Amino acid sequence: MQATAIAHPNIAFIKYWGNRDEALRIPLNSSLSMNLDALSTTTSVEFRADLQQDDLVIDGLNASPDAVQRVSAFLDIIRASMQEKDLKAIVISQNNFPMGAGIASSASAFAALAAAASKAAGLDLDEAALSCLARRGSGSASRSIPDGFVEWQAGNSDENSYAFSIAPADHWQLVDLIAVVSRAHKPVGSSTGHLLAATSPIQNARVSDCQRRLEICRRAILKKDFSTFAEIVELDSNLLHAVMMTSSPNLLYWEPPTIAIMKKVLEWRLQGLRVCYTIDAGPNVHLLCQVEDAPSIEKLLQAVNGVETIYRSNPGRGVQVF
């Protein structure tokens, strides 16, 4: 009753923010993302009769009680389908990127956990069912199950809210340059942020225009049309942060270097460089460009004040189970 899985985090081009069902993590809008090949989480799960409680080790350290509780609640969903419903598990998870780097790890964490735990439990889930399961742990984890460029259809039930691949990882050599500007732990995590989304007077406008943006973005990816892609990705990120800044209490994730990078990207684009930015629930900035432009953009980015580290990633595969 042991299995191991490896999953990559993903960067959303069209973002998920706000749930229609909090308990089931059914989102208000569909979203679109790319898996990040260079970053990964490897997780092994073993269900054992001799354990009194679930045991969670992350990057060699015993996890916090909050993390154990989130993982135990997730394992309970799997245990409900097992014959031996009382079996506790030992979960060992290793990231190849520092947890404190401000790079969201819940997507790769819950995608790897869903795949490893369901296999260890003897469940034989197809990709959609696995994506639904991962979603219960963290919404964005649903998108780390399929390969490459991925769409998560919002759906309206536990069974039809899952992600699927719209193009494989080798479809388009996009590069994500992640500019880490702060390693501080974010003050308000995504799960709390989703709860606040509805308090913003512009969340409805963001959500009601979302399908239009997603279709433009999907078409741009399929046609490898970078300028259309860049425009819609930045619009979607700006709308997300507008909602965050206008919720109550409001969320302002940006730090001075975040804004400095955004301004530089606009400047570089006016000079003819093909690059755009997108930002999640934190101060770090993801710069997206095509592979041939990545070296020059990375060099320019290195010179911006406040950039601590840059992670560079190509499109990544879906989850793999051993």
| Residues lying near ligand DP6 in the complex (CB under 6 A) | 12, 15-17, 25, 31, 104, 106, 138-140, 190-191, 194, 280-281
Q: How far apart (Å, rounded) are the C-alpha atoms in residues 164 and 151?
A: 6
CB of 300 to ligand DP6, least distance (A): 25
Min dist. Cβ of residue 230 to ligand DP6 (A): 18
Helix (H) or strand (E) holding 73, with range, is helix 65-79
Helix H, strand E, coil C: the string for 186-255 is: CCCCHHHHHHHHHHCCCHHHHHHCHHHHHHHHHHHHHHCCHHHHHHHHHHHHHHHHHHHHCCCCCCCCCC
Compare residues 74 and 226 and give the one whose CB is closer to ligand DP6.
74
Q: Which is nearer to ligand DP6, 44 or 190 (CB)?
A: 190
Instruction: Output 87 or 216, the one with its CB closest to ligand DP6.
Output: 216
- C-alpha to C-alpha distance for 183 and 190, rounded to whole angstroms: 16
3-state SS, residue 110: helix
- Return the closest-CA partner of residue 14 out of 236, 316, 163: 236
Instruction: Find where tokens 């409680």 sit.
Output: 53
Which residue lies nearer to ligand DP6 by CB, 87 or 243? 243
Cβ 142 to ligand DP6, closest distance in Å?
8
Both structure tokens of 106? 């819940």
CB of 271 to ligand DP6, least distance (A): 29
Task: Kindly state the smallest distance separating residue 180's Cβ from ligand DP6, in Å.
Answer: 16
Question: Closer CB to ligand DP6, residue 87 or residue 107?
Answer: 107
